[in-house]
A and B are shown apart, each in its own frame.
Chain A
Amino acid sequence: MESVNPIERALRGIAITLVILFFMFPIFWIILMSFQTNETILRMPPSMVFTPTLENYMALITGKLETSAGILEIAFMKNLFNSFFLSTASVAIGLVLGVPAAYAFARLKFKGSEDIAFTLLSFRFAPPLLVLLPLTIYFQQLGLANTYGGLIWVYQLIVLPLILWIVRGYFEDIPADVEYAYRIAGHSWGATFRKIALPLAGPGIAAAALLAFIFAWNNFVFALVLASADKQPVTVGALAFVTASGIQYGQIAAGIVLSIAPTFALALYAQRYLVEGLSLGAVKG
């Protein structure tokens, strides 16, 4: 790296700056918007000079949206809680189901194991819209529509394949002999899984869980169709700001900031694991 010449370094710096601007500008703009009123947001030409206001955040937190047509009740904090609850519960269940399954796929070569693993992965290929209509009908008949349980179940479509395939790669990276050594030393299969395989795959499991959480958090379409207002996550709840008396850009921006904050913080905190998990999941096949 030290032999890189100054021109190349400068060009690389410019390229990185451009990429960062391209990706970060929308987020930066939304953060600016969240501190403005609808009037300053919509003025022409747009300007970065304004008096910051916490009005939008206050409206979201108190749940009272003042519009020209009167005070509107919004359930943003409830949505935020729903997002949190749905994502966490989905990932927890995904881990309970997915990690042992990943271990089985990594260690036991049984008949049809590759086919089953691939089928599970293929859930990620199909566009959600494909399954939504039949799913809606089934859910209504089974009484699962508009329940947390039903949503968490559907979220497994997102979470389970992800956890399964990433964690499987990590388990495959653990030399089987390390486990054999533990088993032959007088430990059962289950003890070996708990004491050797799980701790060694720990970083991978963490990465998979984080990714799965982010994917679950960002889901929109399942929740839109299968849940009504009181079960909806923020991704769907933000639609409430498109009101009869106009679109509340300020509150939407504030809502976005609040809703990306947890995943953003999580991603920053565990950046290393995420990159590792993503690249491993991509390379392993």
Chain B
Amino acid sequence: MTVQLSLKAVDKFYGAIDKGVHAVRNINMDVHKGEIIALLGSSGCGKTSTLRMVAGFEDTSRGTITLAGREIQKLPPVKRNVAMAFEGYSLYPTVTVRENIAFALKAAKLSETEVAAKVKEVSEMLEITDILDRFPTSISGGQQQRASLARALVRDADLHLLDEPMGQLEPQLRTLLRGRIKHYIKERGLTAILVTHDQTEANAMADRIAVMEGGVLQQFASPEEIKEAPANLFTGTFVGEPPMNVFPAVVSDTGDQIHFDLQGGLDLQYPAKDFSADVRQAMLSRRQIVLGVRPYAVQRSAEGAPATVEANQWLGDQTHIAARFAGASIVLVEHDFTDVALGSEIRVHLNPNDLHVFDAETGQALSHGAQLA
């Protein structure tokens, strides 16, 4: 696999270097040719700043950005050969949607027939053929967003940047277009970076997800890996719906038992053999840890620990139960209708193979299941 885009030790400061706001901190990232990457994070996490540095709208304060073998961080946008769909659409209001889409192709000196064919293809894919001759101000937000997406995807660029490309679309259309856009990108072997705060979108479209928070790249891995082996407490709790349950705990060891002392005097015990020797060692050397468990991994079992039901919602295809547990709330997801009354007591069991253990101080993952992180 060839590396198409490479970010090396990239920093972004708004204001003077080392003095201003440090928006992106020492990002290192390689994107392979033909890959779709999702930059996932909450607002202000640095994902858009990263994207704009790659596009050339923001100076790269430090570090190098290499695209298709060229170092680009000092080049003006026009010389980078990057296509971008903007979150705010940013269509040229003075020309029709068709001309908006065709602008870059004409600038690249493609023939009339080629331009027409490409515009037709991309607008059919995004279902905007009926608005091609209208002006951006006379179409809806969702249509503008698709026009903006078409303007980016129609190009044959080294890299496609899609900033929240589907935020304004109706859920049904979004689901349909997610698949189509992914297929379109893959079919042409394009490389794309998708900025989103929608986990479903990231999971559905991306080969790998880059989770960002506080300007720091928290984890860069496949959707499966992020779900099964979150690198730290942030990734663990940020990715996943409903979010991971977390409980601060103190670990101790009584020979053949491992104890997790949770808040509210709850003592979870597991046979020491459930954890490998290196996991035990890692946990015991920290003592203060945070225990994480995904809602769908929480089981109800007679020998489990007691919890008091606080809420019970049937969502049509799954039940979300929230219960008072270890001085906090625990959420569990069950796939069939569960009739437990509010205030009643249930017993929950956390399987050692489903436990994620994080260092309480640094938030770094120590183990996932019984395996060392």
Enumerate chain A interface residues (CB-CB to B < 8 A): 175-178, 180-189, 196, 199-200
Contact = CB atoms under 8 A, between A and B. Distances in A.
Interface residues of B, number: 25
Nearest to B136: A178
Scoring B82, B91, B92 by chain A CB atoms within 10 A of each residue's CB, the highest score goes to B92
B84 A184 contact: yes
A176 B108 CA distance: 22
B155 A185 contact: yes
Q: Which are the 4 A-B pairs with shortest beta-carbon distances?
A: A185-B104, A177-B90, A186-B107, A181-B90
Contact of B80 (A175, A176, A184, A189): A184
Given A181-B151, A182-B103, A187 B78 contact: yes
B271 interface: no
A196 to B, nearest CB: 6
B56 interface: yes
B107 A184 contact: no
Scoring A185, A186, A188 by chain B CB atoms within 10 A of each residue's CB, the highest score goes to A185
B94 interface: yes
A181 B161 CA distance: 11
Interface string B202-230: 00000000000000000000000000000
A188 B77 CA distance: 9
A248 B304 CA distance: 109
A186 B108 contact: yes
Scoring A176, A177, A180 by chain B CB atoms within 10 A of each residue's CB, the highest score goes to A177
Contacts of A196: 92
A187 B77 CA distance: 9
Contacts of B88: 175, 177
B159 to A, nearest CB: 11
B94 A180 contact: no
5 contacts: A180-B86, A181-B84, A181-B86, A184-B80, A186-B108
B90 A184 contact: no
B57 A182 contact: no
A180 B92 contact: no
Interface string B315-326: 000000000000
A184 B92 contact: no
A180 to B, nearest CB: 5
A186 B104 contact: yes
A201 to B, nearest CB: 12
Given A175-B88, A177-B86, A177-B88, A184 B78 contact: yes
B90 A188 contact: no
Nearest to B80: A184
B231 interface: no
B83 interface: yes
Nearest to B107: A186
B55 interface: yes
Contacts of A182: 92, 103
Scoring A184, A189, A196 by chain B CB atoms within 10 A of each residue's CB, the highest score goes to A184
A181 B92 contact: yes
A185 B106 CA distance: 10
A178 B103 contact: no
Interface string B84-113: 101110111110000000011001100000
Given A177-B88, A180-B86, A200 B93 contact: yes
B242 interface: no
A175 B84 CA distance: 15
Contacts of B78: 183-184, 186-189
Given A184-B78, A185-B155, A186-B107, A199 B90 contact: no
Contacts of B77: 180, 183-184
Given A180-B84, A181-B90, A200-B93, 5 more contacts: A176-B57, A177-B86, A178-B92, A180-B86, A181-B91
